[in-house]
Amino acid sequence: MGAIATMPRAVLGALGIACALLASPAAMAQSRPVTPAQRATAEQVAQQGVPLAELAPNAPDVYVVKRGDTLWGISGVFLQRPWRWPELWGMNLPAIANPHLIFPGQTLYLEKKDGRARLSTGPAAASGEPETVRVSPRTRADSVSSMALPTLRMHLIEPFLAEPLVVDAQTLEQAPRVVGTMEDRVIMGPGDRIYARGDAANPLRAEPGEPRQYRVFRDAVALKDPASGDILGYEAQYLGKADLVRGESFEESANGKGGYVSDYVPASLDLVSSKEEIRAGDRLLPAPARTFVNFVPHAPEMNVDARVVSIYGSFGMSNAAQNNVVAINQGSEDGMRAGHVLSLLTKGSRIKDKTDKNRPVIKLPSESNGLAMVFRTFDRVSYALILEARLPVSVGDRLVNPE
């Protein structure tokens, strides 16, 4: 085919988005939705832009998206407050119809006029006419979903998308349990075959439509609200993965007296991976379907006053730092959503006022300590990644709306 006729760059941008949508069916939009509130913000900013005072001090006039970039990082390139990404996206709503459809190689242009700024995918031409470019058709074999920019560096949170599990008191107790191994070992690891049995009313089956991949858990630990003391749920310790080979069954065998006996046979599973040694009594739960997870960093739409409940995987450690994951005492029932950016506050130390002869104990005010982003929610608990922290983060520290 010959070269496509010249066309405005803005139109090319729209075509690129349309091709992306065609190349990655509805699942792409479903796994990375744009909320009504984000779209409303974007539509408003698309008309007005943002004040120049909101721009980062060294915001570039032109920026070429690179491999390894993240939505959070690019937002920080242009804006003083990266959680205002919906506004950066909304600066050019027609050309950037979905913030997840931004790919390496795209060029972003910062336009400043009348005290406000907008971001576009094409430079403003002096004549007022859109710039035109000539392109030729070509085949691209890369997966569109894998090329789209992630919100964060996914290796920081990918393990936590499957590992932490918050359940109610009965879920693990009623889950299938490991009962032994082929060689009667006490502890097991990857490559070992394990045997398990389910609840009498819900046995492990290997029939079509039944789960075949399982995760192994142990010791559901109560997550208590630091403020009220209420139990918000139970965090199960993730141990590893196992594939179901054969389901539970009964086998008949001769009893030596001319009759037959029916013996129960547990299900067989092969351990695929493990973080820790697996033993009899550990529990199995079906592995969730793997999905491409992404979200838009933004401030919560409601007022938030949350607390750090625990530090995931801390094993007795009392403090967390940048790139650590914490559980907080608000979840989907409270309106918490993946992508919400929260400001971390210190608890404020209690000190003796040595300037007073009575030496009273006073509490210092809470101070801003950094940012955290929610990436996984349960009913009453959410997990958040600490993006930045100047001081150690402790259980009981507050999380509020970013300023």
pLDDT digits (tens, 9 = 90+) for 170-205: 888 889 999 988 777 777 778 889 999 998 888 999
What is the rounded average pLDDT for all residues in the chain?
77
For 237-246, letters b (16+ CB in 10 Å) and e give bbbbbbebee
Distance of CA 264 to the CA centre of its chain: 42
pLDDT at residue 153, rounded to an integer: 73
Which has the higher per-residue pLDDT, 37 or 80?
A: 80
Distance of CA 34 to the CA centre of its chain: 15
Token digits of residue 328: 């907080």
pLDDT at residue 315, rounded to an integer: 55
pLDDT tens digits for range 70-116: 888 888 898 888 887 666 665 344 444 455 567 888 888 888 888 88
Alpha-carbon gap, residue 123 to 34, rounded angstroms: 26
Alpha-carbon gap, residue 114 to 371, rounded angstroms: 32
Sign of the CA dihedral 56, 58, 62, 65?
Answer: negative
Q: Which residues, including other chains, have CB under 8 Å from residue 368's CB and lie 6 or more apart? A: 343, 344, 345, 403
pLDDT tens digits for range 3-19: 433 333 333 333 333 33
**Do the Cβ atoms of 337 and 374 come closer than 8 Å?**
yes
Which has the higher per-residue pLDDT, 383 or 317?
A: 383
Q: For every residue of 80-148, which 3-state class applies, written as one string?
A: CCCCEHHHHHHCCCCCCCCCCCCCCCCEEEEEEECCEEEEECCCCCCCCCCCEECCCCCCCCCCHHHHC
Alpha-carbon gap, residue 262 to 157, rounded angstroms: 48
Which has the higher per-residue pLDDT, 81 or 121?
A: 81
Q: What is the average per-residue pLDDT within 53-61?
A: 90
Sign of the CA dihedral 222, 333, 82, 163?
Answer: positive
Token digits of residue 240: 């590893």
Sign of the CA dihedral 20, 21, 22, 25?
Answer: positive
Report which secondary-structure segment, H or E, holds 350.
strand 350-352
User: How many Cβ atoms sit within 10 Å of the Cβ of residue 35?
Assistant: 15
Token digits of residue 353: 């006022």
Which has the higher per-residue pLDDT, 20 or 69?
A: 69
Which DSSP string do the residues of 193-225 spell out, in sequence order? EEEEE-BTTB----STTS--EEEEEEEEEEEE-
Order the strands of the 116-120 sheet from edge to edge: 50-51, 116-120, 107-113, 62-64
pLDDT tens digits for range 214-245: 999 988 889 999 989 999 999 888 899 999 99
Between the alpha carbon of residue 144 and those of residues 13, 104, 168, 251, 283, the distances in Å are 15, 11, 38, 50, 37
pTM for the structure as a whole: 0.70
Which has the higher per-residue pLDDT, 376 or 32?
A: 376
**Do the Cβ atoms of 157 and 150 come closer than 8 Å?**
no
Alpha-carbon gap, residue 94 to 127, rounded angstroms: 21
Closest CA to 296 of 117, 104, 96: 96
Token digits of residue 147: 């090329």
Q: Which residues, including other chains, have CB under 8 Å from residue 268's CB and lie 6 or more apart? A: 193, 194, 195, 244, 245, 246
Percent helix, strand and coil across the chain, each to the nearest 5: 15, 35, 50
Count of residues in the chain? 403
Alpha-carbon gap, residue 48 to 378, rounded angstroms: 36
Which has the higher per-residue pLDDT, 394 or 102?
A: 394
